[in-house]
Structure formats: structure tokens, C-alpha cells
Chains A and B, each alone.
Chain A
Amino acid sequence: MKLLVLIFVTTVWAQARSGIEYVSPEIRALQADAAQNPGMLWVDSGAKLFARECVSCHASMKGVAARYPRLVHGKVVDLEAMVRHRTAYAYETDELLGLTAFVASQSRGELIGRDLTSDMVKKGEAEYFRRRGQMNLACTHCHDANAGKKLGGETVSEGQPNGYPAYRLEWQKLGSLQRRLRACMYGVHAEMPDYGSEVLLDLEAYLAWRGRGLPIESPAVRR
């Protein structure tokens, strides 16, 4: 019995914690209720767009999002890049966000990072642990060493990617994981990587591997 408890405790301890565990009960309720979740507006418009532009080739996207980001010829392809293979929608447009969120929502509850191995995400890992910007901080300094602590009035999360695209109250709209990563770059006064740039894609792949086993929550709601 003691052994079972120990195993249980160490398993829970080692498990990645989704951003949803760091937000207020009000935000949790908002995410859980499809009629209230503001991200569903994008999912709905994305579903219409999908029916118009994608369904002739893709009958169902069930489970697809759980396989992204993935490596194609050694390069990381994320969900946005996959959607953009046939559509020319620019990053962070409602159209691209809608399609991406619709596809992601078709994999809600499926576990991220299953197809990735540590060898595949070495470049992203290096980026994650590299100090950058005037503030001289790496991702790990906040999201590993200080997750759960307070940054001003806010709780620092583990920086898990499983909710994206997510509706952030701060943005008052849906946004991609790349947008969220860029916000951290801005925060540490670092050079701003372009949308679709290798550094952001590599980081996305590493984050998916790091958070492997977390369920897709998109469209999540975050503060």
C-alpha cells in the first residue's frame, strides 16, 4: 500500500501541469462551457471555412492535431504551417486561427507529443535553455525553476502548449502559440523572431515533447 502511494505521488509529481491548473476558477469555467468559451467563435467560423475549402480532400481531422508539431525532412511543421499548405492566410488572421482551432478542437482530449522523441527536439531544447534579451533570461528560468510562483499578481505557469490556439483575456481574442512565445521574447527585451521562423517552430516542437501526455484543450481560455 505504501509503495502504491509512493508510486502515485511520484507519478503525479513528475507529470506536466497544463496552464488550466494555474488560472482562476472563473477562467476554468469559461473554458469548460462550450456555450461560454469565447474561443468557440473561432472554432465555429473555422468549421464553416473548413467545409468550404478543405473538406473535398479531408473528410475528418479527428486526431490530426495530436500529431503536430512534427518533423518533415528534418524541419518542424506545426499545425498552422500544415493548415497553410493549401491556404494563403497570414499568421494570426481570424481565418488561419479559425481553421487551426477547428482542427485542434477535433483532437480535444488527445495527448500531445506522442510521436516526438528527445532526439527530434534538440534544437528547440537548446533554444529553451538559452538566455536571451536585455533581461538575460531563458524560458527555463520562469517556466521550470519558478512555475507556481508569483510574478506580480499572476502565477507563473509551466508554459505548456496544449491549450493553443487559445483565447487570452489579455488579447481579447484567439491567438497562436507562436504569438504567446513572441510575447515572452518581448518581455525579456529580446529580438523578435518572425512568425514561422525556425526558432519558434523548434521551440514549439520542444514544448510538445516536454509536455507530452497532456491533453489538447484548444480552444483553451487563459488570462
Chain B
Amino acid sequence: VKHAVLAVLLPLTALPFTSLSYSADAENGRRIALGKMDGNCLLCHAIPGADRPAGNIGPSLSGVGAKYSRNELRERIVDASRFNAKSVMPPYGRTDGLHEVAAQYRGKPVLTAAEIDDLVAFLATLK
């Protein structure tokens, strides 16, 4: 009984310090990261909680929330080439300096600023 009570109480005490304040956004970020449309981060990165095969072109995102601050995560999603000119990671928030972009995508980033916010919130939970 004691264990059962603890099992219920412990997650509750942890909530305010982790996911609660970002729960809605992080959940959408999770969908963006794991979904086949939008981000499709899974195509290149292993991600905890995925239910289909992940790629391994990029590093695993397990623990990425402990390795980088939210700002660092955001910068890397917006334009990874700023940190490594040879990066193969698409610039999810940059539209300038691109060539021969198909008309329907021209001037549009892969992800909107709000979507990147949600994605960062999700990645920050991967401690």
C-alpha cells in the first residue's frame, strides 16, 4: 500500500518542475518530432518513445535536453549550418540563402516559429 501511494504521489510532486508548464506545447512538439509530416526528426534521429524505425544519419536525441539549453536547441533547429558548415541537417527556420526552392515552399521555413517553440519544449524533456 505504501508503495502504491508513493507511486501515485511521486509523479505529482515532480510535475510542477518538469512538464506541467510546457505540457501542451511539448505534446505538440512530440507530434512534430515523431510524425511523418512537419519535422519528421525521426527520419534521421533516434528519439525516445518512437513507434517506427528511426534513422541514424544524425545523433540520437536521447538526453539532448540535458546537453543543450532551450536556446541552444532552438538555434540548432533553426539553422544547424551555423555550428557546422557541412551539416546535413536542413535549416528548419531559415529561408534566406536557399537555392531552387520549389514554388510552394519558397519563402516559407519548414517549421513555423511556434512549431519550433513546441519542438524545443519537447526536446527539453529528453533529459
Contact = CB atoms under 8 A, between A and B. Distances in A.
A131 interface: yes
Given A135-B110, A137-B88, A149 B57 contact: yes
Contact of A191 (B42, B57, B88, B100): B100
A152 interface: yes
B53 A191 contact: no
A149 B102 contact: no
- Chain B interface residue bracket vs A: 20 to 34
Which of A130, A134, A135, A192 has the largest number of chain B CB atoms within 10 A? A134
Contact of A190 (B42, B43, B91, B101): B101
Given A151-B55, A152-B52, A156-B57, 17 more contacts: A130-B99, A131-B98, A131-B99, A132-B99, A133-B99, A134-B98, A134-B101, A135-B110, A137-B88, A137-B90, A142-B57, A145-B88, A150-B57, A151-B57, A153-B52, A190-B100, A190-B102
Interface of A: 130-137, 141-142, 145-146, 149-153, 156, 189-192
Interface of B: 42-44, 52-57, 81, 88, 90-91, 98-103, 105, 108, 110
